Every structure is written in structure tokens, then in C-alpha cells.
Chains A and B, each alone.
Chain A
Amino acid sequence: MKRYLRQQYMPHIWCPGCGNGIVLGALLRAISRLGWDQDRIAVVSGIGCSSRATGYLDFDTLHTTHGRALAFATGLKLARPELKVIVVGGDGDLAAIGGNHLIHAARRNIDITTICVNNRIYGMTSGQASPLTPKGRLATTAPYGNVDRPFDLCQLVQAAGATYVARSTTYHVRQLCNLIAEALENRGFSFVEAVAQCPVYYGRRNRLGTAVDMLKYYRDHAVTVRAAQSMQPEQLADKIIIGRLHHVVEPDYESEYARVMEEARRRADR
């Protein structure tokens, strides 16, 4: 699995106990399991802690502007469909400034797998609230408790048209790896939300303890999709529903556009 790392740049920049490395490890193990050609993988990221992952990965890697990874990736994928394109980003990057591109990429069902490292905070800029910061939680820009209500990002992306949606946590790392592998194999827009700990900002400010404590929190607050079905909304209030949330098979954007190209050539030849 280390063969996928640019080891000359390690150790990475993430803080001690940060969940980014765990999610990245799960992604690399999923790629290794699928045996993908290392020369045909492109990883695209936006701006933020998790988006620094691309620098450490020995693939074709593209570190773009804040929130725009999916738009860059769409051009890359459409221009060269044989590339396996993966987008890595954080909750702020993908769901705040990048929200418009996220829902449109899902709507198009373009064959891109997006891994959202959801640490519920802006880590890189040291602790501001994000669209995934739970109501009432503290952040540098929510000093009296967050008044915003967070997205249910998986529901949002599913409603926008994603054909594979799943969620897991850095505690449930084997499941996370399995779900990422399924997402990578889904031909179409696949979205995996990886709830991950940010002990230095989100954890400390909200007195959630160390990285170890935060992982224990995920262990104790996760419920499977099946279990959640028989629970009441108020029971689910502080729960993290994990597992495969949605999977349907629908034509992906490139194969639809390939049909456009055949039609265009047919008419032009006539």
C-alpha cells in the first residue's frame, strides 16, 4: 500500500491523531484491493486539510482551488474517460464553497468517486464552523454555539442524483475501506462520507477529548443503516448512520456523451 505514497514527502502535515491519514489509508487499500493501474488513476482535491492528500499520492494528482475539485475533475474525466478519477475533499471544501459543483456532478452522474473527509470543521484555517458542524457545537466562528443546521450531506447528494452513497467513520475503518471499494467500482457518481476526528480544533474546542476519545465516540454513536430503519428520529438525533445508503445503476455521463458523439458523426457523414 505504501507504493502509492510519495514517501519522500512523508511524514505528512496532518496533526497528531487527525483522521485524514486513516481515511487516506482506507482509500489506498481499496485501490490496492481492486488492483487498479497506478498510471490510470487521477486524484483531484480542493483546498483544506484533506485536500493536501494529493501531494502525498503517487498517482496523477491535481490540487485545485477551494471547492472546485469536482469541476476540474469533470473536465479531466470527460477529456480522458479511461482515467479513474477520484476527488478527495473536506466538508467545508465540498459542501460549502463547492456545494454547487457537488450537486451538479451528482446530477450528471459523472463517473467520479468523491471521498468527503467530514471532520465537521474548517481545520486548515484553524477551527471555523462548516456546513457539517452540528447545531450548538463551538467553533471560532460559532463562539456561542453553532446556530446553523448542518446538511445531511449523503441525503443531499443522493437527492441530487448520485448513484452510490455511503457513510462510515475512521473508527469503522474496515467498513470504510469496503465502502470506498464499492464506490470506486460503481460506474457513475459515487460519494463516501468519512466522518473523521479533528482533535486539535473540533475536538479540543468542544471538549471531546483526544483522537482516541473521538474514535470511541464514533464507536458508541454509530448505527447501521438497518438498525436505523427501526429507530425514531429523536433516537437518531445524535447518531451517525453508517453503511451503504444508496446504490442504483444508471448510465454515467461519459457513456451518454459517447452516444452524442456517435450521433454527431453519423449526421455529419450523411
Chain B
Amino acid sequence: MRARIEFNPRWCKACGICIAFCPASVFDTDQDGRPIVARPEACTGCQLCELRCPDFAIAVEVEREGE
């Protein structure tokens, strides 16, 4: 399984929800409060960051093996 995280800083309003609730602590926080994809390899593709993002600013593309 490989997950690719797409992030749109223009739409993101730095609410910190994705950072706080990522089960795998993939994100660090930049000085404006926006997420930094610090540990992409830790991402399990659960998509909770995308589901809880109020700004439609983060998307997780999940490629299962053999897809």
C-alpha cells in the first residue's frame, strides 16, 4: 500500500485538525500552523485528515498493491 498526500496551502486555513487527529503523526506544523508532510512513509492511508479537513485542502491518494 502506498499513500500520496496532496496538500493545497492556498485553501488551508491552518486549523490544525489534520495534524491533531492523524493516527500515525505524519504531520509537523509550520510556523503558520499549516501541516507539513514530515513522515509520509508512516501514512496508513486512513484518509482521516482528508475527511476532517474543513477546507478541502488535503487529499490522500491510496494505491493498493497490484492496482
Contacts and interface: CB of A to CB of B under 8 A. Distances in A.
A170 interface: yes
B17 A18 contact: no
Given A10-B11, A11-B10, A11-B11, A211 B16 contact: yes
A16 B56 contact: no
B16 A25 contact: no
A174 B10 contact: no
A249 B21 CA distance: 38
Given A11-B11, A17-B17, A215 B55 contact: no
Contacts of A211: 15-17, 54
B13 interface: yes
Given A11-B11, A212-B21, A21 B16 contact: no
B21 A215 contact: yes
Interface in A57-107: none
Interface in A14-63: 14-22, 25-26, 29
Task: Tell me which of B17, B48, B59 has the highest count of chain A C-beta atoms within 10 A of its own C-beta.
Answer: B17
Given A212-B20, A212-B21, A22 B13 contact: no
Task: Tell me which of B10, B20, B54 has the highest count of chain A C-beta atoms within 10 A of its own C-beta.
Answer: B54
B12 to A, nearest CB: 8
Contacts of A174: 51
B52 interface: yes
A5 B15 contact: no
A210 B19 CA distance: 13
Interface string B1-41: 00000000011011111001100000000000000000000
Question: How extensive is the interface on chain B, given as a class?
Answer: 10 to 19
B53 interface: yes
A65 B1 CA distance: 48
B57 to A, nearest CB: 8
A16 B21 contact: no
B51 A5 contact: no
A212 to B, nearest CB: 4
Contacts of A16: 13-15, 54
A229 B14 CA distance: 39
B62 to A, nearest CB: 14
A199 B20 CA distance: 15
Contacts of B55: 11-12, 21
A79 to B, nearest CB: 32
Interface string A150-162: 0000000000000
A16 B48 CA distance: 18
Contacts of B48: 173
A12 B50 CA distance: 16
B47 to A, nearest CB: 9
Given A11-B10, A174-B51, A212 B56 contact: no
8 contacts: A10-B11, A10-B56, A12-B56, A16-B13, A18-B54, A29-B51, A173-B52, A212-B21
Interface of A: 2, 5, 10-12, 14-22, 25-26, 29, 170-171, 173-174, 177, 199, 210-212, 215
